[in-house]
A = this chain, B = another copy of it.
Amino acid sequence: MGLKKKVSIAVVRRLPRYYRYLADLLKLDITRVSSKELSVSMGITASQIRQDLNCFGGFGQQGYGYNVALLYNEIGNILGFNNDYQTIIIGAGNMGQALANYTNFEKRGYKLVSVFDVAPNLVGKKIKGVEIRHMDQLEEFIKNNKVDIAMLCVPYDHTPDVAERVARLGVAGLWNFSPMDLKIPYDVVVENVHLSDSLMVLGYRLNDKLKNEKQKKEKLI
């Protein structure tokens, strides 16, 4: 079941949702599911679902649907949960500490090996058993340890510099929490988290709901 072709990033971005949904089905001891059932529960059209899963060679059989456990494991493989990626967090403020406390990441193949900060009241302490080191030790640590992903939780203005510093040392993946689309002149994979984007979408949908309710009320008068 190798990849048939280059998978679009839009499809890739939907895979974690499939994965989460299939995990829920497994918990309920549901062993197979049709694209139609997936569609109703996930709010994606059945044809979109079939197309998405076809990108990966397809795991369904007509008239039978998808084997939940098989599909779950395959999507896990595709997303690379058996990768054993080692991660560091840079910036041990609230966001950095929140990430360090996410136990889910480790379950999914992302191991936190160090945290870095400059604050004297943080350096030397531990979060979840992982030491907070001073930023001065960053270069040495990365040279002596396998670090695949750096999670950047530093103040906005420092983000590009810190990103370049780790990319220069060969860290191949950056997970950026500063509200900017980070662009640096290195061949690294950058995933930017824009929390406020999600809040704006919530605001839009709320607006829409309130507007509709107002219109309904006006019609009744």
A residues within 8 Å of B by Cβ? Answer: 9, 12-13, 15-17, 19-21, 78-81, 83, 85, 93-95, 97-99, 101-102, 104-105, 108-110, 148-149, 172-173, 175, 179, 181, 187, 189, 191, 193-207, 209-210
Contact of A13 with B201 in the complex, beta carbons under 8 Å: yes
Most chain B CB neighbours (cut-off 10 Å) among A93, A102, A110, A198: A198
Q: What's the nearest-Cβ distance from chain B to residue A72, in Å?
A: 13
Q: A85-B203, A95-B98, A98-B95 are known contacts. Are A197 and B80 too (CB-CB below 8 A)?
A: no
Contact of A93 with B98 in the complex, beta carbons under 8 Å: yes
Complex formed: what's the CA distance from A95 to B94 in Å? 6
Contact of B104 with A207 in the complex, beta carbons under 8 Å: no
Smallest CB-CB separation from A16: which chain B residue? B197
Contact of A16 with B200 in the complex, beta carbons under 8 Å: yes
A interface majority secondary structure: helix
Copies of this chain present: 2
Partner of A199, one of B9, B101, B175: B175
Q: What's the nearest-Cβ distance from chain B to residue A154, in Å?
A: 13
14 residue pairs A–B, Cβ–Cβ below 8 Å: A16-B194, A16-B201, A17-B197, A80-B200, A94-B97, A95-B95, A95-B98, A102-B195, A149-B202, A149-B203, A175-B198, A189-B209, A191-B201, A193-B195
Q: A83-B207, A98-B94 are known contacts. Are A16 and B196 too (CB-CB below 8 A)?
A: yes
Q: What are the 4 closest A-B residue pairs judged by CB atoms, nearest first?
A: A94-B98, A16-B197, A191-B202, A95-B98
Contact of A191 with B198 in the complex, beta carbons under 8 Å: yes
